[in-house]
């Protein structure tokens, strides 16, 4: 695994002035050793077991110190000042190799809200640019949340109706589009308004009636400014102009996005 000294402002998964690398150990470099409290290890294990991953990181690492242990993924520990990023292997380094992480990291872990919770996401959001992730949209207001809740209720009845009529593909498309809305609109995870729009558009071939949900959704939030949709609409408009220019009077195809 790539080596970065503790508290370095770069790691394999990001860099920035408020980024702090932790436990990016290598067999070529000495590292601090010592005993940590068992209570700290238990808290750290809980964070690792439920680690929120802002980006997928393919492949497992094998421990260079013993060659006997592999782990994938990383754990993010944000505070209001910095974000600590450690490989999930950190627990193995502490338990089996006596690695001693810096005091400030241990304090941050003990003060860190549960991974993925709204409090955690609020702390993590300012650092997302370090991971090449765009900042999330502001959470829906209480009024918008109430409207989304009504939309979801309608969707559940619709899914039940589609199941009874045997149209599993359509039911699955609608369920997939709605699956993450209930948690994300309250801040469990990241709220990206465009995700629902894109899932609905993906679901149209399976369930043409799903388009009504997007209309309702856009009525709640105003005009959809999804860059992907804007680019697609512009390219379609340009295509239509070219067709009309080449064949005056040709019938316009008003197919959906
Ligand atoms: Zn090892």
Same-domain pairing of 149 and 194: yes
Query: What is the distance in A from the centroid of ligand 1 to the CA of 105?
Result: 21
Same-domain pairing of 224 and 119: no
Establish if 251 belongs to a structural domain. Answer: no
Establish if 239 belongs to a structural domain. Answer: yes
pLDDT of 13 above 60: yes
Query: What is the distance in A from the centroid of ligand 1 to the CA of 102?
Result: 19
Measured distance CA(180)–CA(189) in Å, rounded: 9
Same-domain pairing of 117 and 155: no
Query: What is the distance in A from the centroid of ligand 1 to the CA of 55?
Result: 25
Query: What is the distance in A from the centroid of ligand 1 to the CA of 67?
Result: 6
Same-domain pairing of 125 and 21: yes
Query: What is the distance in A from the centroid of ligand 1 to the CA of 93?
Result: 6
pTM of this prediction?
0.70
Query: What is the distance in A from the centroid of ligand 1 to the CA of 101?
Result: 16
Establish if 252 belongs to a structural domain. Answer: no
The pLDDT of residue 252 is 47
Measured distance CA(129)–CA(141) in Å, rounded: 24
Closest of 225, 80, 54 to residue 133, by C-alpha = 54
Establish if 255 belongs to a structural domain. Answer: no
Query: What is the distance in A from the centroid of ligand 1 to the CA of 54?
Result: 26
The pLDDT of residue 249 is 54
Within 13 Å and on the Cβ side, how many CA atoms surround 74?
26
Same-domain pairing of 51 and 119: yes
What lies within 8 Å, CB to CB, of 137 at 6+ separation is: 191, 192, 193
Q: Please write the tens of the pLDDT for every residue from 104-131.
A: 999 999 999 999 888 998 899 888 887 7
> Is residue 34 classed exposed, middle or buried when 0-12, 13-18 and 19+ CB atoms within 10 A define those classes?
exposed
Same-domain pairing of 148 and 114: no
The pLDDT of residue 136 is 81
Establish if 23 belongs to a structural domain. Answer: yes
pLDDT of 254 above 70: no
Query: What is the distance in A from the centroid of ligand 1 to the CA of 26?
Result: 10
- DSSP letter string over 126-181? GGGGGGT-PPPPPPPPHHHHHHHHHHHHHHHHHHHHHHHTT-HHHHHHHHHHHTTH
| Overall number of domains in the chain | 2
The pLDDT of residue 235 is 76
Query: What is the distance in A from the centroid of ligand 1 to the CA of 94?
Result: 9
Query: What is the distance in A from the centroid of ligand 1 to the CA of 27?
Result: 10
Establish if 3 belongs to a structural domain. Answer: no
**Residue at which a domain ends, from 131, 161, 192:** 131
Same-domain pairing of 125 and 159: no
Q: Tell me the average pLDDT of the chain.
A: 88
Establish if 254 belongs to a structural domain. Answer: no
Same-domain pairing of 156 and 72: no
The pLDDT of residue 220 is 94
**Residue at which a domain ends, from 131, 150, 174:** 131
**Do 183 and 189 touch, CB atoms closer than 8 A?**
yes
**Do 99 and 73 touch, CB atoms closer than 8 A?**
no
Same-domain pairing of 114 and 155: no
Q: Please write the tens of the pLDDT for every residue from 189-240.
A: 888 888 899 899 999 999 999 999 999 999 999 877 676 667 777 777 787 7
Same-domain pairing of 14 and 124: yes
Q: Which domain holds residue 218?
A: 142-246
**Residue at which a domain ends, from 131, 162, 196:** 131
Query: What is the distance in A from the centroid of ligand 1 to the CA of 112?
Result: 26
Q: Please write the tens of the pLDDT for every residue from 57-112.
A: 656 788 999 999 988 889 999 999 999 999 999 999 999 999 999 999 999 999 99
Same-domain pairing of 98 and 155: no
């Amino acid at each position: 695994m790539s080596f970065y000294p503790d508290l370095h402002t770069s790691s394999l998964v990001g860099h920035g002035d408020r980024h702090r690398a932790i436990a990016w150990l290598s067999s070529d470099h000495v590292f601090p050793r010592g005993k940590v409290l068992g209570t700290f290890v238990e808290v750290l294990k809980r964070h690792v077991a439920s680690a929120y991953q802002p980006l997928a990181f393919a492949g497992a690492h094998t421990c260079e110190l013993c060659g006997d242990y592999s782990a994938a993924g990383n754990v993010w520990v944000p505070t209001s000042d910095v974000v600590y990023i450690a490989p999930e292997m950190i627990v193995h380094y502490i338990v089996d190799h006596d690695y001693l992480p810096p005091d400030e990291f241990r304090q941050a872990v003990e003060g860190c809200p549960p991974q993925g919770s709204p409090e955690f996401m609020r702390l993590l959001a300012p650092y997302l640019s370090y991971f090449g992730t765009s900042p999330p949209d502001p959470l829906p207001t209480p009024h918008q949340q109430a409207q989304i809740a009504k939309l979801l209720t309608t969707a559940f009845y619709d899914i039940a109706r589609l199941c009874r009529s045997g149209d599993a593909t359509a039911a699955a498309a609608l369920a997939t589009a709605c699956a993450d809305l209930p948690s994300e609109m309250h801040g469990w995870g990241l709220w990206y308004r465009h995700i629902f729009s894109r899932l609905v558009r993906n679901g149209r071939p399976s369930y043409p009636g799903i388009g009504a949900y997007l209309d309702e959704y856009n009525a709640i939030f105003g005009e959809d400014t999804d860059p992907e949709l804007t680019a697609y609409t512009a390219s379609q408009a340009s295509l239509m102009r070219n067709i009309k220019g080449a064949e005056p009077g040709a019938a316009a195809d008003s197919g959906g996005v």
